[in-house]
Amino acid sequence: MPLVKHGAIVADDYVAVADDADLPAGGAVLVSAARLFAEAETLAMRNTPVGVAWPNNRDVAGLVPWLDQLSLIALVFPTFKDGRAHSQGRRLREIYGYRGELRATGQVLRDQFTFLLRNGFDAFAVTKESDAQAFGEATHRYTEFYQPTGDGHLSALQLRKQRHKAVAT
């Protein structure tokens, strides 16, 4: 499954570790929420990046005490029709101020890329190779947006206001 980060297909630095497997000696790891909570101290002592795979039916507010220690949060789209992680992403970025990697996993297809970017995702474990290759094209299709989100784009309402100001001055 290709991983797209910053618009390019890259290798995944993280090793996903099952709950009953030993942690590798070094390197970035991706663990479950249960393991993150149970082995917090051990994980902190490693001094290597730690990521968590967070289920889409659990309140992300539960992650708030850990956000400073996490360099990756992987949210899940079991099917792309299940959009719960869209709200989780926005809350992590815009309400709780999470700045690490926010990765979309599961059935991640080209047709969600723009939505995901707007919701604060910056890494995509893409289901299809062809979609991963089309990332740039798919995410540049839209140039105008109606909603303000934390992605920095001005919404149509904000843009119009700015243009009026420019005309007036």
Residues that bind other proteins (CB under 8 A): 59, 80-84, 86-88, 90-91, 94-95, 109, 111-112, 114-116, 118-119, 130, 141-149, 155-161, 164
Shortest approach of other proteins to residue 35 CB, angstroms? 24
Nearer to other proteins, 2 or 35 (CB): 2
CA distances for 13 relative to 3, 105, 139, 145, angstroms = 10, 15, 24, 33
Shortest Å distance, C-beta 140 to other proteins: 10
First to last CA, the chain: 52
The token pair that represents 8 in the structure block: 């390019």
Question: Partners of 104 in the beta sheet?
Answer: 75, 124
Contact 166, 142 (CB under 8 A): no
Minimum CB distance to other proteins smaller for 19 or for 137: 137
Query: What are 113's two structure tokens?
Result: 């890329």
Q: What's the closest the beta carbon of residue 141 comes to other proteins, in angstroms?
A: 5
Q: Which is nearer to other proteins, 36 or 116 (CB)?
A: 116
